[in-house]
Amino acid sequence: MSKKLFIKTWGCQMNVYDSARMADVLAPLGYTPSDEADGADMVILNTCHIREKAAEKVFSELGRLRHLKDEKARAGDKMVLAVAGCVAQAEGEEIVARAPFVDIVFGPQTYHTLPEMVAKAHRAAGAVLNTDFPAESKFDHLPEDSGGQGVSAFLAVQEGCDKFCTFCVVPYTRGAEFSRPAFQVLAEAKRMVANGTREINLLGQNVNAYHGEAADGSTWSLARLIRELADIDGLARIRYTTSHPRDLADDLIRAHAEVPQLMPYLHLPVQAGSDRILAAMNRKHTADHYRAIVDKLRAANPDLALSGDFIVGFPGESDADFAETLRLVNDVTYAQAYSFKYSPRPGTPASTEAKQVPEDVKSERLAALQQLIDAQQVAFNAGFVGRTVPVLFDRPGKRPGQLMGRSPHMQSVYVQAPERLVGTIADVRIEAAHANSLAGTVETGVYVSRTGHSAEVSA
């Protein structure tokens, strides 16, 4: 009998990928995904520990779920309640102590053992806790058959981090840097394309540090992997995220000039513009080093658009340091970027620094930075009005007859068009630009995407 599985995901794209794979692992046990927790037979909270706010949300959500679990118990049924991801990894014991009604707590590296954990949770009282870093990679044990991941899908190629930026929990929650073998990645990509995926976004906490073993025993860089993926018939678009400036090698920059399937959009976090703060963050590069990489990338592909991550109010950040961040943003010009107030994370070196920046100063700096980034984003999008861009349609829009897709530069584009265009790339004339999306009209004609997938649109 089919059982309902509800997974709530917070945080990064890696968590989104992990949640999809958890559903794959549980499918043979009869669990089918549901979009509500009410009445579910199993609920998984896949959590994020990167900032304090993200972690806090888990405990408030658990309070709500406890009532649903009790209701189900009164009806004589069991709701298996699990907490996964980086909060589970970092605070597993605390979750068990604070929320004893939770059945399973597991970290990002052990979800391939979910069937055993679920069986144990049904057999015994008390929580099953599994936050090991097993010697064997979970990727060797995940099912090959996936529920089909859609037109645009994530593919994890690298995980963990050895860089130890002084603000960041990732090296502690995700563990040491690890690259999946290239032959395994290629095989998974081919299966995804056979199941209808047209765009693959290669994922890793430091994806450009990728160095995976090829079938002949040699080691492939990310650039080499991208070139081989580009040979897969039917794969129209390739992206990768998240990159570290220190690992942006020349062969990867060349790939941006030479591989047409590699989209002209790159998320390249810098965090801050002051060399003093970059050093305190242990980023091991300067602001000018970052500027030089951006120049090289734009020389390789003048059409390349950039996105980034910024932290304001890192311990010891002065007004002059923050001014350097604004200067860097003005120099680089982003299509889009994320910015955060520094959040002290337990166990990280920066969290015990004496010179913490007051909350109101952080808020002021965040507002100023976001204003600048927003203005750059609006200007970037406005530059597309009147242009024709190829859009990969990946889903129906919210309104009747509407389709949503992505431009090469990651902008959301919506049009009125027939649903059969989902999975194809069509030329769209952009008529309006908004802060977070573009609107346009599909140009009439027959669209044959690189995939050979074709569709006709008539006026």
Which residues here bind ligand SF4, judged by CB under 6 A? 161, 163-165, 168, 170-171, 205-206, 244
Residue 12 touches which of ligand SF4, ligand SAM, none (Cβ within 5-8 Å per kind) = ligand SAM
Degrees, nearest 5: CA angle 123-95-354: 160
Interaction between residue 206 and ligand SAM (CB under 6 A): yes
CB-wise, 101 or 164, nearer to ligand SF4?
Answer: 164
Site for ligand SAM in 2-41 (CB under 6 A): 12
Convert residues 127-146 into a mask of x (bound to ligand SAM by CB under 6 A) and - (unbound).
--------------------
**Smallest separation, CB 244 to ligand SF4 (Å):** 5
Q: Which residues pair with 299 in a beta bridge?
A: none
| Coil vs helix vs strand at 220 | strand
Residue 342 touches which of ligand SAM, ligand SF4, none (Cβ within 5-8 Å per kind) = ligand SAM
Say how many CA atoms lie within 13 Å of 47 toward its Cβ. Answer: 31
CB-wise, 312 or 442, nearer to ligand SAM?
Answer: 312
Residue 311 touches which of ligand SF4, ligand SAM, none (Cβ within 5-8 Å per kind) = ligand SAM
Interaction between residue 167 and ligand SAM (CB under 6 A): yes
C-alpha 281/C-alpha 287 separation (Å) is: 13
Residue 106 touches which of ligand SF4, ligand SAM, none (Cβ within 5-8 Å per kind) = none
Tokens for 86, please give them: 């980086």
**Quick check: 259 and 220 in contact, CB under 8 A?**
no
| Coil vs helix vs strand at 139 | helix
Interaction between residue 49 and ligand SAM (CB under 6 A): no
Residue 149 touches which of ligand SAM, ligand SF4, none (Cβ within 5-8 Å per kind) = none
User: Which own/partner pairs from 363-372 qualify as long-range (CB within 8 Å, at least 24 positions apart)?
Assistant: 365/312, 365/313, 365/317, 365/322, 366/312, 366/313, 366/339, 366/340, 366/341, 368/322, 368/326, 369/310, 369/312, 369/325, 369/326, 369/329, 369/339, 370/339, 372/326, 372/329, 372/330
Which range binds ligand SAM by CB under 6 A, 110-118, 150-158, 165-173, 426-434? 165-173
Residue 9 touches which of ligand SAM, ligand SF4, none (Cβ within 5-8 Å per kind) = none
Tokens for 235, please give them: 């794969």
Interaction between residue 336 and ligand SAM (CB under 6 A): no
What ranges make up the beta strands (E) of 86-192?
Answer: 104-106, 128-130, 152-156, 158-159, 178-179
CB-wise, 254 or 285, nearer to ligand SAM?
Answer: 285
Give the count of residues interacting with ligand SAM (CB under 6 A). Answer: 18
Tokens for 29, please give them: 């046990």
Tokens for 223, please give them: 């650039």
| Cα dihedral value 117, 119, 123, 124, nearest 10 | 0
Interaction between residue 51 and ligand SAM (CB under 6 A): yes
CB-wise, 170 or 266, nearer to ligand SAM?
Answer: 170
Residue 171 touches which of ligand SF4, ligand SAM, none (Cβ within 5-8 Å per kind) = ligand SF4
Site for ligand SAM in 352-411 (CB under 6 A): none
Residue 164 touches which of ligand SF4, ligand SAM, none (Cβ within 5-8 Å per kind) = ligand SF4
Rounded to the nearest 10 degrees, the angle between the axes of helix 287-300 and helix 319-332 is: 10
Interaction between residue 340 and ligand SAM (CB under 6 A): yes
Tokens for 366, please give them: 């965040």
Rounded to the nearest 10 degrees, the angle between the axes of helix 222-230 and helix 250-258 is: 20
Task: Write out the residues near ligand SAM by the rule CB under 6 A.
Answer: 12, 50-51, 167-168, 170, 205-206, 242, 244, 269, 271, 309, 311, 340, 342-343, 345
